[in-house]
Structure 1
Amino acid sequence: MPIGENVKHVTAAIKEPSYLPINKIYLIHSPDNSEFPLKQIAVDLKKDLEKIGHTVILRELSATGAFEMHPILDEITKIERKEHGDDPNPLNDIVVNVTGGTNIMAVASMWAAGSLKLDSYYILREDKNPGLKSYLVPIATPKYNRFSVSANNPDHQQILDVLSKQTFDWEGIPETSKEPVEVNQSIKNSDWNAKETRKGVATLKDLKEIIETKYKVSKQTTRNRLDQMEADGLVSIKHNVPKHSVKGGVEYPRHEYFIDQKEPLVSITAMGKSALLGYKPTK
């Protein structure tokens, strides 16, 4: 259960008969911050639940983890693997409460439930819905079987492992320049204005060459695999490569900044990062 400041949904959930008996409760929480003692709230809740006989395990996120997809995906994936191991046909005994925490925590929890083929539910607020027989609303989470297969495909994991180690550097568009600068509308409308280094990002050309050199896999085979991985949510492929070219003579250079819409850029997604949990690359 991801939790935040308000933890009433947890106590409401454990009273519901739908998923009894409860053998273990995992609470995914943030650290304390200047606004809320979120870790202390989780610790206190753990103590309260243990007093009434529950086994409770805390999983703490980083300071920004509640506002990013992959930390939540990673934690739920780790929990599922710890409980189910490598069992190809595990019991349907893990349920994800998507009620608490930030909006991103809720979205990531639903994604995780779908990709891991787990049930999930939402707890309605009693003060907003008085008199209901049950406050638990089961969510028909789509079971992303194709994602599950793709994420555990060793060929796909191999590509993800290589991609996760790549970085893409962009020099940025200068605010001032002694020489003429032309900034194309394509890059003005993009998110490539400032200087930055992005991790887990590479041009398709570079990625295919690295994999061919390291693993002797043809460029066409890698491209075919990437197309499937994109369809399954493991990578993003966009024609979105920022470029800087210099035109004109030596005495009168003109700098142009634009998006190369012919060259694909491959980025690992949050789901792709989670697919690498426990992966051991071959030499």
Structure 2
Amino acid sequence: MSLHIVPHGQTTVHIKRGLQAYGSADKINLLTSEKFRSVGNELAEELTEFGYTVEINLVDAFDLRDVVDTVVSVARENPDQEIYVNITGGTNLMAGAATASAFFIGATPYYVLEPQTGEESVDDLVMKLPSPTQPLTFEIEGLQLDVLQTLGRWDEEGRKGVILREIGEELGESSQKISYHINQLQEKGLVESNIEGRTKHVYVTDVGRLYLQWTN
């Protein structure tokens, strides 16, 4: 069973090409803006006639948080589905949000190219992006979450590359305990570190910022 999450605007041909390439698709969730609601309704009717189960999710095409939250909600409602995200259509913001969302939920993002010669096969036109190695569907809590949130707050303030002792002093914990949780966060891809001399400097990664943004 597979689910395709697809943002779109006026143009929808990329949707049909993507579904042709992934013949095992069962369910489709369209991300439709108010401006193109009629396009989404017509497309849903057409795809339903071909045997797909189709749902329409209205989103604000210029609100990144709205798009990402919608994708994450759809994924949580379909925990047993293999999820693909077509990042081709809609506004540039929708495409970017769809890409970030695919990483967040551990889905497979793909992009559908425009034909250049008319002789390309569907498989030639559909470009599968590398699947994320660590989806952000896990939850962290306790001191580990405190460490990440502290690093995230300092990162927003422009304070980067902090050392373990500083984190320990802020949270009232030993450097050894902080080091353990930093290693755990690093395995999840939420932080990274480098060593200068005998000192380890810790940084929040882009993935860590994304995790904090959508879980706080």
TM bucket normalised to smaller? 0.5 to 0.7
Paired residue type of 2:105: L
Aligned partner letter, 1:81: R
Q: How many residues align?
A: 176
Equivalent residue for 2:214, pick from 267, 270, 274: 274
Give the equivalent residue in structure 1 for 2:130.
140
Q: CA deviation at 1:141?
A: 3.7
Cα offset, 1:158, TM superposition: 7.7
How far does residue 160 in structure 1 lie from its aligned partner after superposition?
9.5
Structure 1 unmatched runs, 5+: 33-37, 85-89, 162-201, 205-217, 236-268, 277-283
Among all aligned residue pairs of Structure 1 and Structure 2, give the percentage whose two residues are the same amino acid: 21
SS at match of 2:30: strand
5 Å-filtered alignment, 1:141-180, equals 141-145=131-135, 147-149=136-138, 152-155=139-142
Residues 110, 141 of structure 1: 8 Å contact kept: no
Q: Could you say which residue in structure 2 is the equivalent of 1:82?
A: 77
What displacement does 1:44 show?
1.1
1:22 aligned to 22, 25, 28, which one?
A: 25
Inter-CA distance 157–119: structure 2 relative to 1 (3 Å threshold): same
Structural mapping, 1:52-201, within 5 Å: 52-62=50-60, 66-84=61-79, 93-126=82-115, 128-134=116-122, 135-145=125-135, 147-149=136-138, 152-155=139-142
Counterpart residue number, 2:161: none
1:94 positional shift: 1.0
1:101 counterpart SS class: coil
Q: CA separation of 1:160/1:42 partners in 2, compared to 1, >3 Å: closer, same or farther?
A: farther
Distance 1:57 1:231, change over 3 A: same
Give 2:46's aligned residue: 48
Q: Cα offset for 1:221?
A: 6.0
Q: CA deviation at 1:79?
A: 1.1
Matched residue, 1:3? 8
**Which structure has the larger Rg over C-alpha atoms?**
1
Quick check: 2:68–2:97 contact (8 Å CA) kept in 1?
yes
Report the alpha carbon displacement of residue 68 of structure 1 after superposing the two structures with TM: 3.3
Displacement of 1:55 in angstroms is 0.8
**TM-score, normalising length from structure 2?**
0.65
What is the aligned partner in structure 2 of residue 197 from structure 1? none
Q: Distance in 2 between matches of 1:221 and 1:61?
A: 43
Q: Take 1:11 and 1:159, find their aligned partners in 2: how far apart are those partners?
A: 45
Contact 2:31–2:59 (CA under 8 A) maintained in structure 1: yes
| 1: CA distance, partners of 2:131 / 2:117 | 23
The corresponding residue for 1:242 is none
Task: Extract structure 1 runs of 4+ deviating beyond 4 A.
Answer: 156-161, 224-229
Aligned AA for 2:171? Q
Amino acid at match of 1:139: L
Aligned with 2:204: secondary structure? helix
Which amino acid counterpart does residue 3 of structure 1 have in structure 2? H
Partners of 1:139 and 1:81 in 2: how far apart? 22
Task: Give the conservation status (yes or no) of the 8 Å contact 1:24–1:55.
Answer: yes
Amino acid across the alignment from 1:29: T
Task: Give the distance between the partners of 1:52 and 1:95, measured in 2 at CA.
Answer: 19
| CA-atom RMSD in angstroms | 3.7
